[in-house]
Copies of this chain bind each other. A is one copy, B any other.
Amino acid sequence: MAGQTPIHAASKTSLLPLYYQVERDMRQRIESGAWQAGQQIPSEKELCALYDVSRITIRQAISALVDEGLIVRERGRGSFVRSPVITAGARGLTSFSDEMAALGMRAGARVLSIRREPAPPELAERLRIGPGDPVVVVHRLRYADESPIGLQTAYLPGARFPALEQASLAGRSLYAYLQEQYGVELAEAHETFSTTTITGEDARLLNVPEGACGFHVERLTYDQKQELFEFVTSTMRGDRYQVQLVLRANRREL
């Protein structure tokens, strides 16, 4: 031991893995300001003593925090808390509701329609089901702080989600519902953004002038077994919606 006693010494009897307990405690120290931005954190050896775990466990925890962008490592110098400015605006895999909450807005949705129908060939191919197989189509108008921001149409394989078309989605995320009712574990989504001109009924629903610019988004959502369970097309208002992304060079560690 090195002068300091283990403070939140990881509990070896807890159900949580040690590296995760360490990671959580370190994240809390950073977020609470106990470890200030730009400052060096204790060395790996010191952290071993602090948490009373092996160095590999410490490195596993640090690696997760590096992936999250909270810490940078510099060989020969030490590890440092990142400046907060550089980590702002990252975008993970979340529901629309969470995304809006992160931006300080309240998400809302009006279900325009929800029904079960046979899949036309093109859609069936997208969803990797047979043509004519049932799909559940959820058509929603999305709101941010009371005002319309986008139109979303989600297509889900009907065979996997029996009676989904009878769901009440008022005030809850579709993903939350899918997890509760069908045990779906959201794992990955692929999105493609292009631009579009908003016209006609869409312009009226979104409350934008005829011919305004907007985003056209297509999304494929997969669960943890790599199974595709949703295809979504959206039209988002160009004046109130933007896409932020963080690109990182390859990082490698344990």
Contacts and interface: CB of A to CB of B under 8 A. Distances in A.
Contacts of A23: 252
A60 B222 CA distance: 25
A6 interface: no
Contacts of A253: 60
Contacts of A197: 213
A189 interface: yes
Contact of A195 (B188, B215, B254): B215
Interface residues of A, number: 55
Contacts of A222: 86
A82 B38 CA distance: 38
Copies in the complex: 2
A166 interface: no
Nearest to A72: B226
Interface in A62-96: 63-64, 72, 74, 82-83, 86, 88-89, 91-94
B195 A247 contact: no
A226 to B, nearest CB: 6
Given A72-B226, A93-B247, A226-B86, A242 B192 contact: yes
A103 interface: no
- Give the one of A56, A222, A247 with max B CB within 10 A: A247
A244 interface: yes
B20 A193 contact: no
Given A188-B246, A245-B245, 11 more contacts: A19-B252, A86-B222, A89-B192, A186-B249, A188-B248, A188-B249, A194-B242, A195-B195, A195-B213, A213-B238, A243-B245
Q: Which 10 A-B pairs have the closest CB atoms?
A: A195-B238, A93-B247, A213-B213, A195-B213, A193-B243, A194-B242, A189-B247, A93-B249, A60-B254, A187-B249
